[in-house]
Chains A and B, each alone.
Chain A
Amino acid sequence: GAVVSQHPSWVICKSGTSVKIECRSLDFQATTMFWYRQFPKQSLMLMATSNEGSKATYEQGVEKDKFLINHASLTLSTLTVTSAHPEDSSFYICSARDFSGSLGTPTDTQYFGPGTRLTVL
């Protein structure tokens, strides 16, 4: 079964509005979560690393004021796309790192959420 959930699975919004996406680890505690963006037929592009209890680390070229990340607990990270524009339309995927190996896979395996498809009109 799924070990990482993401909500919502899809969202359509008007340009200029903000959208919040939640990522939850269901079967383990995740001190570190990652946010990716994926355009059609392209690979995953890491946007930022979300650390529980501290500030997120953003990859080069990713605007931290536009993509707000909050990792308030060991099982929840949120990504808020502020003042969304059509070029922000994409598939956003989160992953959570299982540092303990408690799920029977190698330590530090990343488990991915089902993704959120954002369409900005």
Chain B
Amino acid sequence: GQNIDQPTEMTATEGAIVQINCTYQTSGFNGLFWYQQHAGEAPTFLSYNVLDGLEEKGRFSSFLSRSKGYSYLLLKELQMKDSASYLCAVRDRMDSSYKLIFGSGTRLLVRP
């Protein structure tokens, strides 16, 4: 089976750095995605990791350790508009449909 865990909620201050963790268990790993979702809107793509290491894209970075079944999303220089839910999603190599299994999401609140 598959299991993805994320913290339910996090709070951080504007201008700070926050790290959102995601742990997963799959029968065959084939990539991990991070999406951002504002309330009432559809998710938007943030990052993708399939190999171990850090992927950096502006203020956002994502890290993956396949041996540990672990990823994190790092947000730097937080802005108020970063208040949103962050979804970790894993693709299973054993599934030919390329479907993603989503974690429950982490609601991030950025305060002034």
Q: B87 contacts the other chain (Cβ, under 8 Å)?
A: yes
Contact A115 B41 (CB under 8 A): yes
Encoded as 1 (CB less than 8 Å from any B CB) or 0, chain A from 84 to 121 comes to 00000001010001010000011011111111010000
Contact B48 A112 (CB under 8 A): no
User: Shortest Cβ distance from A41 into chain B, in angstroms?
Assistant: 8
Contact A49 B97 (CB under 8 A): yes
Distance of A71 Cα from B60 Cα, bound (Å): 35
Contact B98 A114 (CB under 8 A): no
A113 — nearest CB in chain B belongs to which residue?
B42
Most buried by A among B40, B42, B87, B98: B42
Q: B99 contacts the other chain (Cβ, under 8 Å)?
A: yes
Residues of A with C-beta under 8 A to B35: 112
Please pick, from B48, B87, B91, B97, the residue contacting A32 in the complex, using a CB distance under 8 A: B97
Interface residues on B, range: 20 to 34
Q: B101 contacts the other chain (Cβ, under 8 Å)?
A: yes
Contact A43 B87 (CB under 8 A): yes
Please pick, from B31, B40, B45, B104, the residue contacting A43 in the complex, using a CB distance under 8 A: B104
Instruction: Report the count of interface residues on A (CB-CB < 8 A).
Output: 26
Binding site secondary structure of chain A: strand
Please pick, from A51, A57, A93, A109, the residue contacting B45 in the complex, using a CB distance under 8 A: A109
Contact A46 B31 (CB under 8 A): no
Encoded as 1 (CB less than 8 Å from any A CB) or 0, chain B from 57 to 101 comes to 000000000000000000000000000000100010000011111
The A45-59 residues at the B interface (CB cut-off 8 A) are 46, 49, 51, 57
Known: A106-B48, A108-B31, A108-B91. A44 touches B99 (CB 8 A): no
Residues of B with C-beta under 8 A to A97: 98
Distance of A85 Cα from B13 Cα, bound (Å): 42
Q: B102 contacts the other chain (Cβ, under 8 Å)?
A: yes
Q: Which residues of A contact B (CB under 8 A)?
A: 6, 32, 34, 41-44, 46, 49, 51, 57, 91, 93, 97, 99, 105-106, 108-115, 117
Could you give 16 example pairs across A and B, Cβ below 8 Å? A32-B98, A34-B100, A42-B105, A43-B103, A43-B104, A43-B105, A46-B100, A105-B45, A108-B98, A109-B45, A109-B48, A110-B100, A111-B45, A114-B41, A115-B42, A117-B40
